[in-house]
């Protein structure tokens, strides 16, 4: 039962992140990328600290250390993605970021000698193919923006992997709070260093920023951290990769984009990836049952 609750939480996270593409586009008309990161992480930190203030009295040193590591991975990945977007196309940025779905299982393989799960690996590659169909244009040029975005994918892969590893022995809520605060502190140091301290408080810019802070950051990362307590990191990466599908869906509904054959094929591939990774247990059980009989 907990496994399914974790999966539902990650699906909701992917849906929220998908809607966040629209919010980010609106916020970028009024704030710099670094200001948006500083704003959303600050909002997330404040909300989480207020709502779960009683839990903070029982925080352990190990939670602080692990949360700060996750916060560092999170901020570095976001910065690389943001700067990469300046030098490459949004479609390439989205695709290369999603490469993390394939990187995640190899982190466990190379660093911890974990055996690669065939079903999850096939599912990860299928999900990546779906994201490629959804977002990638026929361009084979590689520039600095592409390389930075690929590094961003590595950062997100480590964040997903170590979230799954750390949350097994730590309180998911406290882990989320510490990583939010860590990312917020680094964000504001960066903003101050760059001299981007002038913020607009017009509703056209503030409302999208509040949405990113409340939903795309606070709720989404809380659901991700708690949800990953009950499923593998590779399966989590596959579910989170549906962010691109939900981004497409919100673009169709809100921005009135036309549905294309590419969208349909990409959506089918991503759905297939989830089915492959989900049904492996039933396939194995049936095989074992057949061998026993």
CB-based burial of residue 162 (10 Å sphere; 0-12 exposed, 13-18 middle, 19+ buried)? middle
C-alpha 210/C-alpha 219 separation (Å) is: 12
Q: Which two tokens stand for residue 47?
A: 């909300």
What is the torsional sign of CA 274, 276, 280, 281? positive
In a domain, 260, yes or no: no
Structural domain tally of the chain?
A: 1
pTM: 0.86
pLDDT tens by residue, 187-225: 999 999 999 999 888 888 899 999 999 999 999 999 999
Q: What is the pLDDT of residue 142?
A: 67
Helix axes 233-240, 100-112, angle to 10 degrees: 170
In a domain, 68, yes or no: yes
Identify which of 52, 160, 141, 27 has the alpha carbon closest to the alpha carbon of residue 98.
160
Question: Residue 293: which pLDDT band, with cuts at 50, 70 and 90?
Answer: very low
Q: Which two tokens stand for residue 270?
A: 């991503």
In a domain, 185, yes or no: yes
Q: Are 187 and 41 in contact (CB under 8 A)?
A: yes
pLDDT tens by residue, 8-19: 999 999 999 888
In a domain, 290, yes or no: no
Residue 172 clears pLDDT 90, i.e. is over it = yes
DSSP state of 56: G
In a domain, 134, yes or no: no
C-alpha 166/C-alpha 58 separation (Å) is: 17
User: Which residue range is the domain that position 186 belongs to?
Assistant: 2-114+139-232
Give DSSP secondary structure letters for 177-191.
HHHHHHHHHHHHHHH
Q: Which helix (H) or strand (E) holds 65?
A: helix 61-87
Q: What is the pLDDT of residue 211?
A: 93
Going by C-beta distance under 8 Å and a sequence separation of 6 or more, which residues neighbour residue 271? 130
C-alpha 151/C-alpha 105 separation (Å) is: 16
**Would you tell me how many other CB atoms lie within 10 Å of the CB of residue 153?**
23
In a domain, 247, yes or no: no
C-alpha 209/C-alpha 216 separation (Å) is: 10
Number of H helices, E strands in the chain: 13, 0
In a domain, 269, yes or no: no
In a domain, 206, yes or no: yes
Q: Rounded to 5, what percent of the chain is helix, strand, coil? A: 80, 0, 20
Give DSSP secondary structure letters for 69-95.
HHHHHHHHHHHHHHHHHHHS-HHHHHH
Mean pLDDT, rounded, for 113-125: 87
pLDDT tens by residue, 224-263: 999 999 998 998 999 998 887 887 787 777 767 677 787 7
C-alpha 148/C-alpha 142 separation (Å) is: 11
């Amino acid at each position: 039962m907990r496994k399914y609750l974790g999966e539902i939480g990650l699906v909701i996270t992917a849906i929220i992140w998908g809607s966040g593409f629209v919010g980010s586009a609106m916020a970028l008309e009024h704030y710099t990328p670094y200001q948006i990161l500083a704003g959303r992480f600050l909002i997330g930190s404040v909300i989480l600290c207020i709502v779960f203030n009683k839990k903070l009295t029982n925080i352990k040193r190990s939670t602080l250390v692990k949360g700060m590591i996750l916060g560092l991975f999170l901020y570095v990945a976001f910065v690389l993605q943001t700067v990469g977007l300046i030098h490459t196309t949004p479609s390439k940025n989205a695709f290369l970021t999603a490469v993390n779905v394939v990187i995640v299982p190899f982190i466990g393989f190379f660093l911890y000698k974990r055996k690669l799960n065939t079903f999850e690996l096939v599912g990860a590659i299928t999900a990546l193919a779906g994201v490629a169909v959804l977002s990638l244009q026929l361009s084979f040029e590689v520039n600095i923006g592409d390389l930075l975005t690929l590094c961003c994918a590595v950062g997100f892969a480590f964040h997903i992997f170590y979230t799954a590893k750390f949350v097994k022995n730590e309180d998911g809520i406290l882990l989320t709070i510490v990583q939010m605060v860590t990312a917020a502190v680094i964000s504001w140091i960066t903003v101050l260093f760059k001299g981007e301290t002038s913020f607009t408080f017009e509703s056209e810019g503030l409302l999208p920023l509040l949405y990113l802070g409340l939903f795309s950051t606070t709720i989404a990362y809380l659901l991700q951290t708690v949800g990953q307590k009950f499923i593998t990191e590779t399966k989590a990466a596959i579910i989170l990769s549906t962010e691109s599908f939900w981004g497409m869906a919100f673009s169709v509904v809100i921005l009135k984009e036309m549905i294309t054959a590419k969208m349909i094929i990409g959506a089918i591939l991503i759905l297939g990836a989830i089915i492959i990774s989900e049904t492996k247990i039933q396939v194995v059980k049936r095989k074992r049952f057949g061998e026993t009989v």
